[in-house]
Amino acid sequence: QVQLVESGGGLVQAGGSLRLSCAASGSIFGINTMAWYRQAPGNQRELVASITRGGNTDYAASVKHRFTVSRDSAKNTVDLQMNSLKPEDTAVYYCNAEIRIISSDNTILPPRPYWGQGTQVTVSP
C-alpha cells in the first residue's frame, strides 16, 4: 500500500557530491519523521540523517557539516545532499519514513516504519 522509491545513487570520486531522493507513494494519511540510513558490507545499518515533520534535523557525527537532509511534505519526498564525499561513505543508502496509512476500509492506522529498496553509493579514493 505504500512504496518508498530512492534515486540518485552512483559512483563518485572522493571530494565529490551526490544527491539522493526518496518519494513515498500510496494510501498515505501522514508522514512523521523521514530519514536516511546506510549499510556498508559487514556493518550494521546506521542512521545517517533524519528530519521531523516540523523540520528538525539530526545527523550522524561522521556526516555532520557534509550532508544535508531536506523534505517536501507536500510531495512526500526526502532528499539527502552529500558533499565532500569520502570512501568511507560507500554503502547502500536506504530511505525510511514513519507513515500513517489509510486502510481499505478508510481506517487510519497507527504510524509504522517503511523502507525503500536501497541505492548504492560508491566513493572511489
What is the per-residue pLDDT for 94? 98
DSSP, collapsed to helix, strand or coil, labels residue 88 as helix
Q: Measure Cα distances from 61 to 48, 64, 65 in Å.
A: 9, 5, 9
> 46-66, pLDDT tens digit by residue?
999 999 999 999 999 999 999
Cell output for 41: 558490507
Least confident of 35-39, 47-51, 102-106: 102-106
Asked whether the predicted pLDDT for residue 1 surpasses 90, the reply is no
User: DSSP letters of 2-68?
Assistant: EEEEEE--EEEETT--EEEEEEEEESEEEEEEEEEEEE-TTS--EEEEEE-TT--EEE-TTTTTTEE
Task: Return mean pLDDT, the chain.
Answer: 97
Task: Report the alpha-carbon distance of residue 17 to residue 68 in Å, rounded.
Answer: 11
Q: Give the percent of the chain with pLDDT over 90.
A: 98
